[in-house]
């Protein structure tokens, strides 16, 4: 059980770190490949909002 909880918490920490990096990339306007949209912003935003809705149990 302890290994499962460690894995769940570890994956949550990784997800939050990646989300933080992505938000920083957008705020700072960093474009790794100019002219090419490597990360679809609309889809990522929808996925983040959907995940937050699941975690907070917000009514839809």
Taking only the tens place, the pLDDT of each residue in 23-48 is 888 888 887 777 776 777 788 888 87
pLDDT at 29: 82
In a domain, 60, yes or no: no
Closest CA to 52 of 24, 12, 22: 12
**Mean pLDDT over each residue of the chain, to the nearest integer:** 77
Q: Measure the CA dihedral 60/52/54/38, to 10°.
A: 100
Residue 2 within any structural domain of the chain: yes
Note the pLDDT of residue 60. 57
The answer to whether the pTM exceeds 0.75 is: no
Q: What is the pLDDT of residue 23?
A: 83
Total domains in the fold of the chain: 1
Q: Where are the alpha helices (DSSP H) in 1-60?
A: 2-28, 41-56
Supply the pLDDT for residue 57.
60
CA distance 23 to 56: 20
Q: Is residue 30 part of a domain?
A: yes
- Domain residues for 12? 1-55
pLDDT at residue 7, as a whole number: 78
């Amino acid at each position: 059980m302890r290994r499962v909880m460690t894995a769940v918490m570890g994956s949550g920490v990784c997800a939050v770190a990646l989300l933080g990096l992505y938000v920083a990339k957008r705020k700072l306007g960093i474009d790794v490949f100019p002219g090419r949209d490597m990360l679809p912003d609309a889809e990522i935003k929808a996925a983040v909002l959907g995940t937050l809705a699941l975690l907070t149990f917000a009514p839809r």
